[in-house]
Chain A
Amino acid sequence: MAHASLPDPELLASRILRRERAAVASGLNLLDNRLAEARMRAVRLLACLSGERWLNEGHLIGVTGPPGAGKSSLVSAMIREWRASGRTVGVLAVDPSSRPELGGGALLGDRIRIKTPLNDDGLFIRSLANRNQLGGVASEVWPMSWLMLVCFDVVVIETVGVGQTEIDIAEIGDTVCYVAQPASGDTIQYLKSGIIEIPDIFAVNKADLGAPARKTASEIARSARRQDRRDDWDYPVCLVSATMTTGIRSFHDHFDRHRRYLVDSGLLGRLRLRHQSAWVVRLIREEFGTFGLDLAGGRAAVERRLSESRCNQFEEYERMRTHMLSRLLSVNQTTL
């Protein structure tokens, strides 16, 4: 039944390259689909879309922070800036799923905050649930963000994070932004944990609340400066208010500045290659466990093979997957 309704990947890819909204939507549906046939087509789709652009074009931005900090509102304020400067924007908004024993459903509530001006063809929002996957970001986000990168100048991934998820998002975004809630326990926890190493830009939202926001900003500034990850990046801390739209301009400029920094220092392509392999490794581990990773020759070997294929990691991934599947099946057959 369902196969008939699955799109032809080559045709779809050409429509996506023409930036047809309907094609983008059905491409995202395909990447979200777990049926074996769909996965095959998804890999073909990604292979058609892949190219140098995936190493040096567009801007992939990860936005994370505790629930209610104002991530969606801030993204919305940023979208106004990007759209005003003529850039198109794709958003992937990830919300938590309920526990599997409680049905595993999800309420996807970010759209309402990321207000879409009527008729704006330059903005595309897809919400998705994390589906209880370890680390908090659904693995579908990864290929979806690459698809979006083909047709939008800026791709934003919003995730709820109070701990683990930042690690995931660090493996997707070129630029990672942490949005802090003034005077919240979450933020204090955050400062204490090692995760503060990850974001490139900090925003303390709700500056309109006054003193508590300023206090949180100075606390973060103190901790952020102590890092030594990249000497030549300054880890700015911005006081902003999404609702009063204050501080948005300079906040926005930091993103451009960070991207320029990545390009100038030659980091962008390397970062993206690394991110792609990290996700492939994760996918392999999710599907086959560490055992599967060993079957493929171990993590280091996998990473090497992936980086050699540069912008065609998807085909490489699919080759490894087929290989492992056949190995696993034969292992099973001999032991049973």
Chain B
Amino acid sequence: MVAASRKRDQPWLIRTYSGHSSARASNELYRSNLAKGQTGLSVAFDLPTQTGYDADSPLARGEVGKVGVPISSIEDMDQLFDQIPLDQMNTSMTINATAAWLLALYIALAQRRGIDPRKLSGTTQNDIIKEYLSRGTYIYPPGPSMRLIADTINYTVRHVPRWNPTNVCSYHLQEAGATPVQELAYALCTAMAVLDRVKASGEIAAEDFPQVVERISFFVNAGIRFVEECCKLRAFGEMWDELTRTRYQVDDAKMRRFRYGVQVNSLGLTEAQPENNVQRIVLEMLSVVLSKRARARAIQLPAWNEAMGLPRPWDQQWALRIQQVMAFETDLLEYGDILDGSPVIAAKVAELIAGARQEIENVDAQGGIIAAIESGYVKRELVASHMNRLRAIESGELKIIGVNCFEETAESPLTAGSDAAIMKPDPEAERRQIERLQAHRRQRNGSDVQAALQALADAAQSGENIMPSSIRCALAGVSTGEWGNALRAVFGEFRPPTGIDIAIDSREVLGQKDRVSDLRDRVASTGNALGRPLKLLVGKPGLDGHSNGAEQVAVKARDVGFEVVYDGIRLTPQQIAQAAEEEGVHVVGLSILSGSHMELVESVLQELRTRDLGDLPVIVGGIVPPEDADRLFALGVRGVYTPKDFDLNAIMGDIVDVVRECNGLERLGALH
């Protein structure tokens, strides 16, 4: 074998995005993943931690330790990194609104362990802009959010120089339906907004500014159209190089490099025939490693059972092994850039760049990305793109194997096990975390805590960098909710536009004209029979930020003639029941993907009953394992829909029938 003697490039950082139940359980998982050859950590936090609530806050109910690890104070951080040397680890934290806080906890922990923060390396995602557009864990209004990002950058550039303080994300935009051009445009607009903000803060001397530019890294998506994705990454590289040179006068080419990490597309991973997801993941990964010039620095892959629920350790191991096969068995890392010089690739790259420039101009014309988020423009563009994608799947124009074609399948041994082939977080996790937090509150020094929180509030008010006072809070034993609330009191809270107010796309009905007109007739005639147009409330209870499904259900319902009320994400069961009452809707549709459906649906039903609305039909959509669906039906829920129910027209037909049945009209049955 000749290959053995060839010089190979270093592979990218190999990670798995994980965390669940408790700091202790997650720590065990991390250590076993590292033992399996993973080279960096990627921490998934639970939703209360991401949205700045304590485990015992009423808003956290049902969400503690579900989709990630709960971190309530420095003691949890200590447990999470037990026996993991912070100065040798590269830790990526998917944390945004509370990024400054989690970074403060990490730095404080290093200090407590006698480690120089200058030796810490890793990443805080800390791109709050895209939270308003896709990811949903925002807290404060855009102004203060930008300031928090700038503060962490200004701080780390000086005190934690190997840290990537922010990871500008286009990943989540694609997961919300963005096209490659939209991904390029909005991510670059965000990066410019961040850099402009740091510049305007005046904390960095002009000659040091290139170092700030160099610290900006990106988090990108790679979908199944892998040639185009390959070109998108090259386009990113070229545009970033130009932008940093012309807009920020960075002369050193090395500092202008487009450094990025990747998680491959998960939106396209299916619940039906889930084994096919493995091929998809491999192909998607290929696009970000194939060309050396635009190769990812760090990669994390989803698991084959992505659309079913959380991955078990074995599922994650499979995803890890995909990366290792790519890195260590193939000859990929032995060559220079294999796409350089291809006219086909160059033409596609040029086309993407032209499209992205145009869209950047559109955003600029509106006063930049923040203004375009506040006005709802960007969100509307994303909702419209996602709608186009779903319409194409419905019409069969976009083929998804196992979903809208080649649906027949033998029984899968992969899903045959008794655990439904997914990870179930510890059901006791919430109770334990609450006890742990309350015990912690009892043993810390109350006056230190008060003084540290006061200093934090003062800094928030005065505009002084938020990091030093946050680190002081961390050391004093302040909790995540206390930090979050201290800043809420100064900055206020914010709810971004939902983006569903897009124009009806009359073109979209062409492929399915008969079904849409059939549906419009059904909705109208049912409304006439009941005396007023059908009214639907789409509700997102809990801290869950997955809005795609709710948005598309709302848009579709409007298109077939419903009057639709949708108030965005993160509402309490009480707010939803109150809206159902005030609005006089005929049916309530809840969308829950965070795994907290049992708790949340039960409380919504309870709240409806206390308002005399026990007869109002409720349907549920999202990630709901089959046995939970049965339990929901037993509670009185009238319909349950999961990702395999991709046909929104059929869902609408069902909803009309549910309303009819509950009002004494006969069902109309399946659409023709």
Report if B611 contacts A (CB, 8 A).
Answer: yes
Report if A68 contacts B (CB, 8 A).
Answer: yes
Residue of B nearest to A4 (CB): B664
Chain A interface residue bracket vs B: 35 or more
* B663 near A22: Cβ-Cβ < 8 Å: no
Report if A239 contacts B (CB, 8 A).
Answer: no
* B582 near A1: Cβ-Cβ < 8 Å: no
Residue of A nearest to B610 (CB): A22
Q: State in angstroms the CA–CA spacing of A25 and B555 once bound together.
A: 25
CB neighbors of B among A60-114 (8 A): 68, 97-98, 102-109, 111-112
Q: State in angstroms the CA–CA spacing of A109 and B383 once bound together.
A: 15
Report if A218 contacts B (CB, 8 A).
Answer: no
On whether A109 and B532 interact (CB within 8 A), knowing A98-B504, A103-B504, A126-B583, the answer reads no
Instruction: Give, as a whole number of angstroms, the nearest-CB distance from B393 to chain A.
Output: 21
* B578 near A109: Cβ-Cβ < 8 Å: no
* B564 near A102: Cβ-Cβ < 8 Å: no
Q: State in angstroms the CA–CA spacing of A2 and B533 once bound together.
A: 14
Report if A165 contacts B (CB, 8 A).
Answer: no
CB neighbors of B among A1-23 (8 A): 1-2, 5, 21-22
Report if B565 contacts A (CB, 8 A).
Answer: yes
* A116 near B566: Cβ-Cβ < 8 Å: no
* B582 near A124: Cβ-Cβ < 8 Å: yes
Q: Residues of A contacting B529 with CB < 8 Å?
A: 2
Contact with A along B356-391 (1 / 0, CB 8 A): 000000000000000000011000000000000000
Q: Residues of B contacting A115 with CB < 8 Å?
A: 495
Report if A131 contacts B (CB, 8 A).
Answer: yes
Residue with the greatest number of chain B CB neighbours at <10 A, chosen from A5, A21, A22, A107 = A107
- Among listed A32-40, A172-180, A293-301, A323-331, interface-contacting one: A32-40
* B584 near A28: Cβ-Cβ < 8 Å: yes
* B498 near A112: Cβ-Cβ < 8 Å: yes
Residue of B nearest to A28 (CB): B584
CB neighbors of A among B608-628 (8 A): 611-612
* A126 near B504: Cβ-Cβ < 8 Å: no
Question: Number of B residues contacting the other chain (C-beta, 8 Å)?
Answer: 48
Q: Residues of A contacting B376 with CB < 8 Å?
A: 68
Instruction: Give, as a whole number of angstroms, the nearest-CB distance from B138 to chain A.
Output: 14
On whether A116 and B575 interact (CB within 8 A), knowing A103-B559, A104-B561, A128-B563, the answer reads yes
Contact with A along B567-583 (1 / 0, CB 8 A): 11000101100110111
CB neighbors of A among B529-578 (8 A): 529-533, 554-555, 557-568, 572, 574-575, 578
Contact of B565 among A32, A102, A108 (CB under 8 A): A108
Q: Residues of B contacting A106 with CB < 8 Å?
A: 558, 563-564
* A109 near B579: Cβ-Cβ < 8 Å: no
* B533 near A131: Cβ-Cβ < 8 Å: yes
* A104 near B533: Cβ-Cβ < 8 Å: yes
Q: State in angstroms the CA–CA spacing of A28 and B531 once bound together.
A: 13
Q: Residues of A contacting B495 with CB < 8 Å?
A: 112, 115
| Other A-B pairs, 13, CB within 8 Å; known A29-B584, A97-B563 | A2-B531, A32-B531, A33-B530, A38-B531, A105-B560, A105-B563, A107-B564, A109-B566, A112-B567, A116-B578, A118-B575, A124-B582, A125-B583
> What are 25 A-B residue pairs whose CB atoms fall within 8 Å in the complex?
A1-B663, A2-B530, A2-B664, A21-B581, A25-B582, A28-B584, A32-B532, A33-B531, A33-B532, A34-B531, A35-B531, A38-B531, A104-B520, A105-B533, A107-B558, A108-B565, A111-B567, A111-B583, A112-B497, A118-B572, A118-B574, A125-B583, A126-B583, A129-B563, A131-B533
